[in-house]
């Protein structure tokens, strides 16, 4: 059992804290945001993630997991410190690591005995050296410590499962002792023969960016193939399934749609491209994936315009799904943002509904007409557009949908509706790469 302090109670910090406490460790999740800590201590989880509330409640009740604003004291208390603060995209496309460096300074000022200091935040390659330098500058008593890069690979909507049952654990450390400490905190995974990758700090940092960028490339690739299927009559579902049966390719992330979003892929791909430019390397493939993603959202807007006879002015559009993917309330870089912006710019009005993310989208578009269910959202609308693949949209009562709308027009950007049923009910519709005869 280790004493672990996690600095940062965002997405990564909360899931990691809950998971590590469930492994039997004593965990303190700390943050400078007192309001957030007060909510957590009141049992209110500030993000939506399936299974997270149950995990936090169980370990909080058993006193293995606590939330605090006492950062300095928690640094001194810990044997292992995980840095899990945000690294948002800066104006020039690079990752903003100012919060990470600020935490490193704070750790340096308060280190009081040997500790393993570990970064879980996604940071550019070489940040580990900067963190160690900042700690050393403030570690006036020269207390010994070791540093480790331990990137996270959590999918929003499946993060609890991903933490408790990961594909691999990546550890880039500065000593064998640090490896042993980290292996100990992940002991339940180690004894279950989860693959552990032991490597250098820089390699661990690169693995994170390389993995996210590759997945983004796969999404953009299948979207380009889907667009070609639109024009040729080929079926992208059959194409994707056939590609996925090839052991060299894998079927994962081959789901055509309106493009990738969220807190990771958009910023991580851009950050990697900018980082490479600083080293005189042109990441042409990743750059192309970013461009394709931007184009894909514009293409969805054009599809909607075409369905409404090239005119959105005065039209009422139901936007079904606001989160960037199902099982999350995260709207960061959601494709729905581009759709909503374009509809409003072209004179249309919107009724919006998401099972979870209405409140999140209100921070961006407070003036929209938000509804509490899809029936209210589509009633009297000239068209509906499905932007998120929530299960309740997969099983829409299409007859009821047609009855409620002023005209039966729908754009399914996630390819989740029954095409045969849409045709039977005489909907005017479109999707992505699944040719409408």
| CA-based nearest residue to 23, from 159, 183, 197, 208 | 183
DSSP string, 114-144: -EEEEE-S---TTHHHHHHHHHHHH-TT---
Measured from the Cβ of residue 380, the count of other Cβ atoms closer than 10 Å reads 11
CA–CA distance, 400 with 371 (Å, rounded to integer): 17
CA angle 184, 186, 190 (to 5 degrees): 90
CA–CA distance, 30 with 27 (Å, rounded to integer): 10
The SS3 assignment for 191 reads helix
What 8-state DSSP symbol labels residue 332? T
Per residue, the 3-state secondary structure of 336-372, as one string, reads HHHHHHHHHHCCCEEEEECCCCHHHHHCCCCCCEECC
Q: How far is CA 237 from CA 300, 393, 412, 422, in A?
A: 18, 19, 14, 17
Question: Rg for the chain (alpha carbons), in Å?
Answer: 24
Measured from the Cβ of residue 4, the count of other Cβ atoms closer than 10 Å reads 27
User: Among all residues, which ones are annotated catalytic?
Assistant: 264
CA atoms within 13 A on the CB side of 340: 26
């Amino acid at each position: 059992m280790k004493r672990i302090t996690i600095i940062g109670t965002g997405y990564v910090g909360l899931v990691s804290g809950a998971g590590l406490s469930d492994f039997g460790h004593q965990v303190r999740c700390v943050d400078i945001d007192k309001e957030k800590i007060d909510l957590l201590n009141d049992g209110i989880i500030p993000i939506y993630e399936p299974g997270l509330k149950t995990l936090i409640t169980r370990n909080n009740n058993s006193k293995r997991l606590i939330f605090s604003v006492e950062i300095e004291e928690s640094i001194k208390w810990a044997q292992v410190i995980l840095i899990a603060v945000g690294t948002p995209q800066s104006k020039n496309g690079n990752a903003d690591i100012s919060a990470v460096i600020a935490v490193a300074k704070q750790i340096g000022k308060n280190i009081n005995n040997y500790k393993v200091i570990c970064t879980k935040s996604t940071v550019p390659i070489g940040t580990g050296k900067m963190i160690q330098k900042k700690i050393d500058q403030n570690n006036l008593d020269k207390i010994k410590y070791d540093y480790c890069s331990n990137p996270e690979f959590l999918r929003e909507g499946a993060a609890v499962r991903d933490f408790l049952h990961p594909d691999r654990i990546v550890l880039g450390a500065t000593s064998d002792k640090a490896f042993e400490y980290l292996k100990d905190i992940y002991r339940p995974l180690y004894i279950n023969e989860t693959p552990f990758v032991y490597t250098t700090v820089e390699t661990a940092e690169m693995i994170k960016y390389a993995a996210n960028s590759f997945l983004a490339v796969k999404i953009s690739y299948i979207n380009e193939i889907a667009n070609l299927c639109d024009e040729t009559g080929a079926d992208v579902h059959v194409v994707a399934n056939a590609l996925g049966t090839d052991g060299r390719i894998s079927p994962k992330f081959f789901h055509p749609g309106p493009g990738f979003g969220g807190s990771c892929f958009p910023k991580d791909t851009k950050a990697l491209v900018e980082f490479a430019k600083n080293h005189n390397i042109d990441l042409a493939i990743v750059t192309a994936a970013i461009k394709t993603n931007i184009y894909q959202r514009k293409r969805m807007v054009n599809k909607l315009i075409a369905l409404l006879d090239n005119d959105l002015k005065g039209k009422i559009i139901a936007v079904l799904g606001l989160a960037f993917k199902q099982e999350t309330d995260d709207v960061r870089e959601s494709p729905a943002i581009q759709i909503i912006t374009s509809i409003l710019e072209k004179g249309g009005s919107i009724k919006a509904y998401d099972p979870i993310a209405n409140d999140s989208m209100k921070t961006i578009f407070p003036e929209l007409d938000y509804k509490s269910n899809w029936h209210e959202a589509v009633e009297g609308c000239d068209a509906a557009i499905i932007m998120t693949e929530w299960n309740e949209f997969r099983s829409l009562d299409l007859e009821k949908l047609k009855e409620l709308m002023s005209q039966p027009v729908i754009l399914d950007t996630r390819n989740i509706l029954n095409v045969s049923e849409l045709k039977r009910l005489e909907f005017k519709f479109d999707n992505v790469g699944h040719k409408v005869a």
